[in-house]
Amino acid sequence: MSLSHTSISGLRSLLSKGEISARDIVDDLLLQTSQRDGEVGAFLSIDAERIRAAADQADLSLPLGGIPIAIKDNINALDEPCTCGSRFLSENYRSPYDAGVIRKLREAGAILFGRTNMDEFAMGSATENSALRVTNNPAALGHIPGGSSGGSAAAVAAHFVPAALGSDTGGSIRQPASHCGIVGLKPSYGRVSRYGLVAFASSLDQIGPMTHTVEDAALLLQHMAGHDPLDSTSLPVAVDDYLASLHHGVKGLRIGIPQEYFADGLDPAVRAASMAAVAKLEQLGASIVEISLPHTEYAVATYYIIAPAEASSNLSRFDGVRYGHRTSQPADIMSLYQQSREEGFGPEVKRRILLGTYVLSSGYYDAYYNKAQKVRTLIRRDFEQAFQQVDAIVSPIAPSPARKIGDCSNPLEDYLADVCTIPVNLAGLPAISVPLPTDGLPIGLQIITPHLQEALLLRVAQAVESA
């Protein structure tokens, strides 16, 4: 019996009936991975012995007991590697602690199943910036899986695992979920602990689940969300019951269609699939309202000032002194810093560090960083005003389906492709990608709701998935 195509809820049902064991699940998934990950490239490391031992000890009475979950390789888990897709941490670093979200998943009974590939330090939208391996899109080998959580998306899409964790700074959960044809949820900023996530841009990063179904995403979020005193950005607010209202439908809800997200340049297949989903929502009883988010055109420029600025600060800790790569023969302390970083970081990371350092430097802080923060406020106000008119907003995730690996000659092309996802991070809102019917490459629909309204978000997403 192959279990690789079974959802989390399906696996839990089989486990509770005693029809399968946790060991049956992981043995099946390890077999699938060993046979096919050579061509997909989703994982950076899998400790089969550790996984089997965890399965043998799984407490099936727990809500996620016996369920394997893959982990993006920028989330720390005790005594496991955490390379961030970089040579800087690939040599000998092992985490000395569990991230907050890992602790919660362990407490719920989940089994950690391998470390997934990613753009180096989460800087990219194709997983082509990984220093360690190439990841293919399981839906179309030779095409990118998206990024930076491309390995997690590929692992789920290839049915190597029923679920994976990703992180989303400017679309890094939703965009690869869209490209690979799975569900990807970015929670509200502060809803899920960031403790133990290797920081890219601290005011934007969030950890979220990547699954096959909306129900599975709701179940995982239920056991990931909540206040963590170890994370100063974690909000001390109650966690809703995300499964309780999942099937309440969209009748009577007002769904906003932002004109800026359906502008010229949108791939015809993306436009057609997105508008077909909007028509389905209307058939289900939702009211469709055209809205405007007028500062969308400034979102990409704003993001690529704020995110690199925070990255240049966060990545200063990688200096060759305390952990990670250290150059072999430094002449002095300055050459130790310079050569370790030169050898350890890839070109995209260096590009963003340089950009971030520049916009924070004397004479340019007010001209760039301070101005970007002001525009960020305007983008957030656009959403606040829109949510006075509508309950949820829907849009494409990406302007086009997944391109071929190696087809991007200019990093700016990939930067601009995040125009539909970046504003959500700047505003700190929850959003989800739900796969849509299509004859070609996978396409996802983005759903956005007000801050901390994940229950509503999942309710709309479930209606889209069911339709």
Q: Which residues are catalytic?
A: 72, 148, 172
Amino acid symbol at 133: R
**Rounded alpha-carbon distances, angstroms, from residue 348 to 53, 93, 123, 137:** 38, 22, 7, 21
Task: Assign residue 171 a region (left: φ > 0; alpha: ψ between -120 and 50; beta: otherwise).
Answer: left
- 23 exposure class (CB count in 10 Å sphere: 0-12, 13-18, 19+): middle
* Direct distance between the N- and C-terminal alpha carbons of the chain, in angstroms, rounded to an integer: 29
The angle at the Cα of 227, spanning 224 to 231, to the nearest 5 degrees, equals: 100
Tokens describing residue 345: 């970081």
State which H helix or E strand residue 348 sits in.
helix 347-360
As a whole number of angstroms, the distance between CA 47 and CA 205 comes to 27
**Gyration radius (Cα) of the chain, Å:** 21
Helix axes 8-16, 214-224, angle to 10 degrees: 80
Tokens describing residue 300: 């990409």
As a whole number of angstroms, the distance between CA 255 and CA 6 comes to 32
Dump the DSSP string for 178-195. Answer: HHHTSEEEEPPTTTB--T
As a whole number of angstroms, the distance between CA 171 and CA 353 comes to 20
| CA 132 remoteness from chain centre | 19
**Rounded alpha-carbon distances, angstroms, from residue 240 to 101, 107, 244, 249:** 17, 19, 9, 17
As a whole number of angstroms, the distance between CA 23 and CA 63 comes to 17
As a whole number of angstroms, the distance between CA 394 and CA 47 comes to 40
Q: Do the bridges between strand 183-186 and strand 111-116 make them parallel or antiparallel, or are there none, so unpaired?
A: unpaired
Q: Which residues of 246-264 are buried (b: 16+ CB within 10 A; e: fewer)?
A: beebbeebbbbbbebbbee
As a whole number of angstroms, the distance between CA 175 and CA 153 comes to 9
Amino acid symbol at 393: I
Residue written as tokens 């690979």? 180
